[in-house]
A and B are shown apart, each in its own frame.
Chain A
């Protein structure tokens, strides 16, 4: 069902964004 894809893409976007922001913040702070 197409809405499964919507949920997966939304979750993927959120997780990748948060991970990238946390990683960058860590690198900028050390």
Chain B
């Protein structure tokens, strides 16, 4: 946790730094409280916007203690906070004597117009990010808009504050602002332009494409000739850009690694055709190449060495990170007892069924695995569990494990919410519940 704490302290120090510089070098003004509060909000908002790039740039040093599953939502939340501060900024300044024409007047200084444009763009930016799925916007289109509007807002806010505020007659604040702007643009350039180019110089090769079950494909990747495969932990994920030609799209998407790091020389992702980009995943062929940025994520039993008793709950293709964990336990003969509750619609949609059976039946070997399949739309003859994995089933199937086991959930978000609520209801403390959403 020390790594996490140091990064949180650093984050707070950076976003508060403009206020500290003002306090140290330009404290006294003739303005009233609300006017000064509005100014302070704008300084904070700019600092938050600048650090947004750091949160989104997938820097291992930044995200490793938390995982991208936390840093990306934090990025979204702080973006909303910055937008709220920038909405309050002109309101407070108007209230503090700046005049309400600041808000609605068109006959204002050019840098006020710039601020209005920046605020409008920021509101669109935040709205698109919060409601992308609801608005039916494709991920790739949203990402393109995000990459254009984000840096543009930072530049516009910089130009506005530099010209509008008396605080920027103070040299230390000028220096801080230039460092902020320069740092943000350089990091953005690295993240979106330079790093993708560097990754393309070390392309992985698709070694094998295998259909696990209808519409679910495992793609095996081999490292570039003469290079070692990157190291990863079971349950982690990767960002993959496939270069397949044949008119197929070249887009970067994240996929869980379903193989175990203990399997040398390659790694694999198991991907379901589920709309958008993945619809054509089965058209990937051996010999295609891929730029890979990895590993990410903390959905791994190895982070919890004290947890000997585990309950894995998978919904559909959510089995993939759990399979990576199970394979790693098998290959390292990890002393773990695992109950896997695996929910699917039908028997034919169960992925890795035979391998799971083999692991379960090998009583001598580790982990000590028990698999319970739960089907929501089974055939008449299905002898196993039917319906949804509700509170009653959780209580019955987990039994005494509710009091001891660590729970790892990977399913679609509504399923996770219901599972977490039910587990809490069954007195499982939050400290023993770990989950991963399908999407970031």
Contact = CB atoms under 8 A, between A and B. Distances in A.
Interface in B3-45: 4, 8, 11-12, 15-16, 19, 22-23, 27-29, 31-34, 36-37, 39-41, 44
Contacts of A4: 430
Interface string B52-86: 00000000000000110110011001100100010
Nearest to B45: A17
A20 B28 CA distance: 16
Interface string A5-18: 11001101110110
Contact of B73 (A6, A13, A17, A25): A6
B434 interface: yes
Nearest to B29: A28
B78 A13 contact: yes
A1 B421 CA distance: 12
A24 B40 contact: yes
Of listed B15, B37, B298, B433, residue having the most chain A CB within 10 A = B37
Nearest to A22: B37
Nearest to A16: B12
Interface in B403-438: 420, 430-431, 433-435
- Max chain B CB contacts within 10 Å: which of A14, A16, A29? A29
Contacts of B85: 17
B70 A13 contact: no
Contact of B430 (A1, A6, A16, A25): A1
Contacts of A28: 22, 27-29, 31, 36
A8 to B, nearest CB: 10
A16 B8 CA distance: 12
Contacts of A27: 23, 27
Contact of A9 (B8, B41, B67): B8
B406 to A, nearest CB: 11
Contact of A14 (B11, B28, B73, B81): B81
A25 B29 CA distance: 10
A12 B77 CA distance: 13
B242 to A, nearest CB: 30
Residue in B33, B34, B48 with the greatest tally of chain A CB atoms within 10 Å: B33
Given A17-B16, A24-B19, A2 B70 contact: yes
A17 B154 CA distance: 19
Nearest to B37: A25
Assign chain A's interface to a size class. Answer: 20 to 34
Contact of A20 (B19, B34, B77, B431): B19
Interface residues of B, number: 40
Nearest to B47: A17
Given A17-B16, A28-B31, A2 B22 contact: no
Given A2-B434, A9-B8, A28-B31, A17 B15 contact: yes
A21 to B, nearest CB: 4
Contacts of A29: 29, 31-33, 36
Given A2-B67, A6-B70, A10-B78, A24 B23 contact: yes
B319 to A, nearest CB: 20
A23 to B, nearest CB: 9
Contacts of A1: 420, 430-431, 433-435
Contacts of A26: 33
Interface of A: 1-6, 9-10, 12-14, 16-17, 20-22, 24-29
Interface of B: 4, 8, 11-12, 15-16, 19, 22-23, 27-29, 31-34, 36-37, 39-41, 44, 48, 66-67, 69-70, 73-74, 77-78, 81, 85, 298, 420, 430-431, 433-435
In the A-B complex, list the 5 residue pairs whose CB atoms are closest, starting with the nearest: A21-B40, A25-B37, A1-B430, A25-B36, A29-B33
Given A17-B15, A21-B37, 6 more contacts: A6-B73, A6-B74, A17-B48, A21-B19, A22-B40, A24-B23
10 contacts: A4-B430, A5-B70, A6-B77, A10-B78, A16-B12, A17-B81, A21-B44, A24-B19, A27-B27, A29-B31
